[in-house]
Amino acid sequence: MPHYPLLPEHRRPMLLEKLQRAPQLRLMEAHSPLAARIASLARPIGDQGPASGFDGLWMSSLGDSSIAGLPDTEVLGYPRRTQNVFELTKTTHLPLLVDADTGGELSSFIDFVHKLEQIGASGCVVEDKIFPKKNSLIKGADQQLADCDHFSEKIRAAQSEKISASFMVWARTEALIASQGMDEAVYRAESYIRAGADGIVIQSVDPTGQEVFTFMQALQGFTSSWNKPVWFACIPTAYPQFTAQELFAVGFHVVIFANHMLRASIQAMENVCSSILSDDRTLESEPHITSIHRLFHLIPQQRVLKQQLTHTQLVPEQADIPQ
């Protein structure tokens, strides 16, 4: 990737264009600019897997909250989330899909949508739980759904208030997470599509994957008779035995690997800390950690501005950063 950021108007349509061209996309979670760069440069080992790497990045609420040392309960807030998305644009040319949680209060959700558009994100996913939501993967959590009509209105409002046609507003139903059953999940997905959702994310923690397969089958008739394409995504954290290719085969267009960069980094950091404490030096951990040389390759150091920046030169550039 060249070492300059993409302009928002160039990045924003990329996800929709990729979907229209070849609707089988793999998105990787990125919780920091460094993680975004690593995911953007990643390629498969050997000759299996997509040679061009990931198709886009997922800005996970779990990732953003965890990095900030906060629970995934919408405490981080949109200003910090906005800043995080903006920071990511420095290190990747991939399109960005942003997890918008419940959207909270309507006017702040619309404001978030506008800022994401200005930054050049390609879309957001808003979920039908009651604010403040709890993470869907928490075992035994009491999960409460928002009223379906009210949530559909939120989708409708975001679609009519957004500025750019290429920015997508996806709806995510948590009906299965809230134990409301398949009929409710399908009913809600149809309602959100009627309200204008560009895509649907189905969240499930069924380890067999059967729930999401049934969901896709149940919606087939409705979506094939619908007047515009609707994209479907799943988040296979709880059913990792399925390849993206297998999930595409049952009708999904997007597979989101929602937390794997984050979890990989935690394990690596825990291991190096234990190793250094056990050996009382760093020699033994060296073969297991990234070399400084590799770090400098990922985040090049040689780019030093030649000219002295004056205060007046800095102001307009900073003014472009949505707060």
The reply to whether 64 belongs to the active site is no
Give the contacts of 312 (CB within 8 A, at least 6 positions apart): none
Beta bridge partners of 6: none
Cβ nearer to ligand SPV, comparing 72 with 198: 72
Residue 46, exposed/middle/buried by CB under 10 A (0-12, 13-18, 19+)? exposed
Least distance to Mg ion from the beta carbon of 63, Å? 8
Query: How far lies 196's CA from each of 11, 104, 117, 151, 200, in Å?
Result: 22, 19, 18, 12, 11
Contact partner at residue 136 from Mg ion, ligand SPV, none, CB < 5 to 8 Å by partner kind? ligand SPV
Of 110, 137, 250, 272, the one binding ligand SPV by CB under 6 A: 137
State the pairing for strand pair 25-29/56-59: parallel
228-257 footprint of ligand SPV as x/- string (CB under 6 A): -------x-x--------------------
Is there a cis peptide before residue 322, judged by omega within 30 degrees of 0?
no
CB 98 within 8 A of CB 124: yes
Asked if residue 258 binds ligand SPV (CB under 6 A), the reply is: yes
Contact partner at residue 193 from ligand SPV, Mg ion, none, CB < 5 to 8 Å by partner kind? none
The window from 7-15, 132-140, 274-282, 310-318 that contacts ligand SPV (CB under 6 A) reads: 132-140
Of 15, 26, 29, 61, the one binding Mg ion by CB under 5 A: 61
Tokens of 57: 């990045």
Of 14, 30, 62, 261, the one binding ligand SPV by CB under 6 A: 62
Catalytic residue among 55, 64, 72, 198: 72
Closest CA to 94 of 127, 52, 128: 52
182-221 footprint of ligand SPV as x/- string (CB under 6 A): ---------------------x------------------
Residue 59's Cα: distance from chain center in Å?
3
Q: Which of residues 84-143 bind Mg ion (CB under 5 A)?
A: 99
Of 60, 89, 152, 204, the one binding ligand SPV by CB under 6 A: 60
Beta strands (DSSP E) in the chain are 25-29, 56-59, 96-99, 123-127, 168-173, 199-202, 231-234, 254-257
Hey, CA dihedral for 103, 203, 219, 96, is it positive or negative? positive
Least distance to Mg ion from the beta carbon of 129, Å? 10
The Cα 304–Cα 308 span in angstroms is 11
Tokens of 163: 């500025």
Asked if residue 259 binds ligand SPV (CB under 6 A), the reply is: yes
Of 55, 74, 99, 198, the one binding ligand SPV by CB under 6 A: 99
Cβ nearer to Mg ion, comparing 124 with 158: 124
- What are the φ/ψ torsions at residue 79 (nearest 5 degrees)? -60, -45
The window from 2-10, 55-63, 210-218, 293-301 that contacts ligand SPV (CB under 6 A) reads: 55-63
- Could you list the active site residues? 72
In the complex, which residues of this chain contact ligand SPV (CB under 6 A)? Answer: 60-62, 72, 99, 135-137, 203, 235, 237, 258-259
In the complex, which residues of this chain contact Mg ion (CB under 5 A)? Answer: 61, 99
